[in-house]
Amino acid sequence: MVDYSCYLVTDSSLVHHSRNLVDTVQQAVDAGVTIVQLREKELETGAFIELARKLLEITKKANIPLLINDRVDVALAVDADGVHIGQDDMPLSIARRLLGNGKIIGVTAATIEEAKVAVENGADYIGIGACFGTSTKKLKKIPMGPRGVLEILEALPANAKAVTIGGINSSNAERVIRHSHGSDGRKLEGVAVVSDIVAAENVPEKVAELKQAIARGFINTVPASIYPDELKLKVAQVFDKLRATSPLVHHITNFVVMNDTANATLALGGSPIMAQNIEEVHELGKFVGSLLLNIGTLNNEFVTGMVGAGKAANKNRTPIILDPVGAGASSLRKSTMKLLTDSLDIGIVKGNAGEISCLAGTGEVEMRGVDSVGGTNDGASMVTRTSKLEKSVIAMTGVVDYVSDGHRTYSIHNGHEYLGKITGSGCMATTAIACYAADDLLVAAIAGLASMGVAAEYAAKRSDVNGPNTFKAALIDELHNLTAEKLLQSLKLQKC
Give the integer Cα–Cα distance in Å for 195 and 210: 12
- Helix H or strand E segment including 249: strand 248-252
Q: Which residues contact 388 (CB under 8 A, 6 or more apart)?
A: 183, 406
Is-catalytic flag, 427? yes
Nearest to 393 by CA among 338, 453, 434, 343: 434
Q: Is there a contact between 330 and 368 (Cβ–Cβ < 8 Å)?
A: no
Amino acid making up residue 399: V
DSSP one-letter string for 412-454: E----GGGGGSTTHHHHHHHHHHHHTTS-HHHHHHHHHHHHHH
What is the SS3 assignment for 403? strand
Q: At what angle do helices 353-360 and 379-390 cross, to 10 degrees?
A: 40
What is the DSSP track for 20-83? Answer: -HHHHHHHHHHHT--EEEE--SS--HHHHHHHHHHHHHHHHHHT--EEEES-HHHHHHHT-SEE
CB contact at 8 A, 352 and 374: no
Catalytic residue among 6, 131, 358, 427: 427
User: Of the candidates 299, 292, 295, which has an alpha carbon nearest to the alpha carbon of residue 275?
Assistant: 292
Neighbours of 345 (CB within 10 A): 26
The DSSP secondary-structure symbol of 14 reads: G
**What are the Cα distances from residue 246, in Å, to 135, 267, 470?**
41, 11, 27
- The per-residue DSSP string of 153-203 comes to HHTS-TT--EEEESS--TTTHHHHHHHT--TTS---SEEEESHHHHT-SSH
d(CA 452, CA 426): 9
Measure the CA–CA gap between 7 and 3, rounded to whole angstroms.
9
Q: Which residues are catalytic?
A: 427
